[in-house]
Structure 1
Amino acid sequence: MRNDPRWALALIRATVLEAAHPQIGAALIDNSTFVAHPWRRLRNTLVSLQRMFGADDHTRHREAARLNRLHARLSGTDAQHRPYDALDPGVRAWVVATLFDSAVTMCRLSGQPLEQTAMEHLYAEFQGFLATLGDQAGHLPHSLHEFWPYFDRVVEEELENTEAMRIILYKLFDHLPAPPLLNGLPTLWAAGRTVAGPVVGAITVASLPEPFRRRAGLPEIPGAQTLMQSAYLAAGLARFLPEGWIRAEGITDLLALSPDSDDPRAMTITALHDQVRRAGALIRLINPLSAPPPDPGETDVRRGAEEFFRAVLDQTGDGYLDWPDLAAMARELAGRLDLDEPEETRLYHAYADWWRELQSALDTDGDGRVSAQEYAVAVPSLAGPALIRVAEVLFDVTDKDGDERIDADEYRALFRTAFRRDTNGGEGTYGRVAFVKDFLSFMSGRRRSTPYDPLFADA
């Protein structure tokens, strides 16, 4: 079931139910990159689920330890001054509950309801998910019979019409940025998104529990129930396609693949990208853009301070730079490199030191965050000692064998592509000095960079 194409709809539904929980909604608003980098967020979520529900015990326990470290760093208060904590066992139980209920719902809506035995087996798998995380039994009901009253109670008594839920339903799909595969084709992507966004939103709302739809004041759109059932049925028919075509991780990898990558699938992607470009050119003949988009293959080109702030620094998409934005960078790097302790903590500490340096230098009004205007004024002074330290630590954790060179495999782990640059100090390697220089040039000089743009700026 892990690679069932219906999970695309079920995961959206589960995410909305998670975001409607006050604690989870607040954590998403404060810390998540789901607004500015939704494709990256989706891919990381799917990778984590694959690891947690895979057959390899070692991989599953390593991923559980990583999630626990990640959750330990997510706590705070919401706009109503209510505390939230991602390690709260009741909150984590609700996340698992939404996934289980959405799996059951996707089978029911697509005309293939689970039999009782299969449902109990699936519920046991999700209970095992929590057990692997180390959560004590009891926060998720012990039996399937007890689960449904628990689920209904949370839906009716605890869920709210949160800001995070509204963003997912009414903003995210309408403003969803193009995946890397379709970068440079804004007109074509916008045309498809204009149609698909409201449809996905309507399908998701129609699939939510009716008591919550009523209490949250979500609209009843005529025909939405029929549209929802048709979408689930159509997604279910995809199971008859060859297995390799519908693997979730394969599809998300494909969307994240750059057309100029050296990945074996790059030839196919490049051909597809060329076809899409031609289609985009035809659309532009009908509705020309006011200005041509920048060439995504162009390197070493200066970008404006506001564009760099929005695309790279403001990872959470709230219009400001603060600690959650830099923590998101550290989180992405740690995930790509599959870091364990203590390397992961070293990277977070380096970013925390950089945040303190930025806050001291740029936060002129003392509100605890940096605006785009504050950043633009002081941008020449960004390459301080703390940023240099970030580059040094990133080099160290990427250089797995400690030979003071980043080889082709280590480079690929970080950038997901092979060398496409003139490496300094030896064929097929990347030396410390060159690495630090390039990192600082990108992070403080605001220069476009073929490897670093996908790392931090891609959606």
Structure 2
Amino acid sequence: MVPGLADIGAEGILLAGAGRAILLQIANPAVGHGVAEHSRFTERPLDRLRGTLTYVYAIVYGTDGQVAAVRRRVNRAHAPVRRAPDESSKGYNAFDAESQLWVVATLYDTAVTVFERVYGPLDQESADQMYRDYAKLGTALQLPAELWPADRAAFRAYWDSRIESLRADDAAVRIAHGLLHPRTGPLWYRAVMPFARFVTAGFLPDHLRQDFGLAWSSGHGRRFDLTMRCTAVVYPRLPQRIRHWFKNYCLGQLDTA
């Protein structure tokens, strides 16, 4: 059974796309260079993931107080992430609206991609509402509402043009390698990374798999399709308390912070 619209963003299976969203974000130099120079992301990836998803959950499901708290937290983190253009860099600014648009776009497109692999295509009404809801992730910060593409067709045109020209540079590749081949962190995290790399590669466009050095073949493709078919059978049958556990955990931690 397909979840109600209000529950889509709470589905834990969307975490399967976390690696895809992150790699797409850092492949944009305006984002990747800021992460490379101002973040300890590869040293503490779980903290970054939890922080990002706590923001998403608070904007979509949180109280006014929770929304205000995550906005302050994100703005404090973004404040030092800026660099003027020079001979070695085009510069970057975490408050740049175009960069924020790209980050939100990766979260939205990844959520739709993963969700529809598990539950099948959304109907038009639900798809349009989900699209409007994801705009809030950017407009809650500095993204002007008019910069979010007007509808899903406009978004697809924006997305396709960006993906076609997107290439991972050396900085992005270094971040991705540190993320996908961790040397530190909990044992369970390092143990699941081979599977996480496989799933991440499966959700990426082929040219970005190559840029990031992620092995892929027709055999990988068949195993990925089988994995997603099995997930589509098993995951929707899990109790909601399990499927929504991480969302509830993140909002609970926000209340105790």
Task: Verify: 1:93 aligned to 2:101, yes or no.
Answer: yes
- Relative to structure 1, the CA distance from residue 70 to residue 174 in structure 2 (aligned partners, 3 Å threshold; closer, same or farther) is closer
Q: How far did 1:221 drift?
A: 2.7
- Equivalent-residue separation in structure 2 for 1:250 and 1:137 (angstroms): 28
- Relative to structure 1, the CA distance from residue 172 to residue 214 in structure 2 (aligned partners, 3 Å threshold; closer, same or farther) is closer
Gaps of 5+ in 2: 1-7
Match of 2:203 among 193, 207, 210: 207
Aligned to 1:73: 80
Task: Verify: 1:245 aligned to 2:242, yes or no.
Answer: yes
Q: Which amino acid aligns with 2:44?
A: H
Per the alignment, in what secondary structure is the counterpart of residue 2 of structure 1?
helix
- Equivalent-residue separation in structure 1 for 2:176 and 2:227 (angstroms): 17
Per the alignment, in what secondary structure is the counterpart of residue 92 of structure 2?
strand
Greater Rg over alpha carbons, structure: 1
Task: Verify: 1:118 aligned to 2:118, yes or no.
Answer: no
Contact kept, 8 Å, 1:169 with 1:201, in 2: the verdict is no
Per the alignment, in what secondary structure is the counterpart of residue 167 of structure 2?
coil
Match of 1:47 among 35, 51, 54: 54
Task: Verify: 1:105 aligned to 2:137, yes or no.
Answer: no
- Equivalent-residue separation in structure 1 for 2:89 and 2:155 (angstroms): 30
More helix by share: 2
- Equivalent-residue separation in structure 1 for 2:110 and 2:49 (angstroms): 16
**Deviation string for 1:42-85 (max 9, x for gaps)?**
22222222112114234224422432343232112689322011
- Relative to structure 1, the CA distance from residue 241 to residue 109 in structure 2 (aligned partners, 3 Å threshold; closer, same or farther) is closer
Per the alignment, in what secondary structure is the counterpart of residue 98 of structure 1?
helix
Aligned to 2:17: 10
**Deviation string for 1:122-148 (max 9, x for gaps)?**
110011222222421332211111000
Per the alignment, in what secondary structure is the counterpart of residue 39 of structure 1?
helix
Matches within 5 A, 1:63-212: 63-76=70-83, 80-157=88-165, 159-167=166-174, 169-175=176-182, 177-179=184-186, 193=191, 196-210=192-206, 212=208
Q: Which amino acid aligns with 2:235?
A: A
Q: Which amino acid aligns with 2:53?
A: L
Q: How far did 1:240 drift?
A: 2.2
Aligned to 2:4: none
Contact kept, 8 Å, 2:54 with 2:250, in 1: the verdict is no
Q: Which amino acid aligns with 1:248?
A: F
Share of identical aligned residues, percent?
A: 26
- Equivalent-residue separation in structure 2 for 1:250 and 1:156 (angstroms): 37
- Equivalent-residue separation in structure 1 for 2:119 and 2:239 (angstroms): 21
**Deviation string for 1:335-394 (max 9, x for gaps)?**
x999xxxxxxxxxxxxxxxxxxxxxxxxxxxxxxxxxxxxxxxxxxxxxxxxxxxxxxxx
- Equivalent-residue separation in structure 2 for 1:178 and 1:68 (angstroms): 27
Tell which deviates more after alignment, 75-84 or 198-207. 75-84
**Deviation string for 1:100-154 (max 9, x for gaps)?**
1001111232352222221111110011222222421332211111000100111
Match of 1:28 among 26, 35, 46: 35
Task: Verify: 1:19 aligned to 2:17, yes or no.
Answer: no
Aligned residues: CA RMSD: 3.1
Q: How far did 1:218 drift?
A: 5.5
Per the alignment, in what secondary structure is the counterpart of residue 107 of structure 2?
helix
- Equivalent-residue separation in structure 2 for 1:169 and 1:85 (angstroms): 21
Contact kept, 8 Å, 1:174 with 1:197, in 2: the verdict is yes
Aligned to 2:3: none
State the TM-score, normalized to the length of structure 1. Answer: 0.48
- Equivalent-residue separation in structure 1 for 2:240 and 2:66 (angstroms): 23
- Equivalent-residue separation in structure 2 for 1:145 and 1:103 (angstroms): 17
Contact kept, 8 Å, 2:14 with 2:114, in 1: the verdict is yes
Aligned to 1:226: 222
- Equivalent-residue separation in structure 2 for 1:103 and 1:134 (angstroms): 22
State the TM-score, normalized to the length of structure 2. Answer: 0.81
- Equivalent-residue separation in structure 2 for 1:223 and 1:252 (angstroms): 37
Aligned to 1:56: 63
- Equivalent-residue separation in structure 2 for 1:221 and 1:199 (angstroms): 15
Q: How far did 1:39 drift?
A: 1.8
Per the alignment, in what secondary structure is the counterpart of residue 135 of structure 1?
coil
Contact kept, 8 Å, 2:59 with 2:67, in 1: the verdict is yes
**Deviation string for 1:190-243 (max 9, x for gaps)?**
9x72xx433322321221134544677764333222333334444443332222
Q: Which amino acid aligns with 2:12?
A: P
Contact kept, 8 Å, 1:110 with 1:233, in 2: the verdict is yes
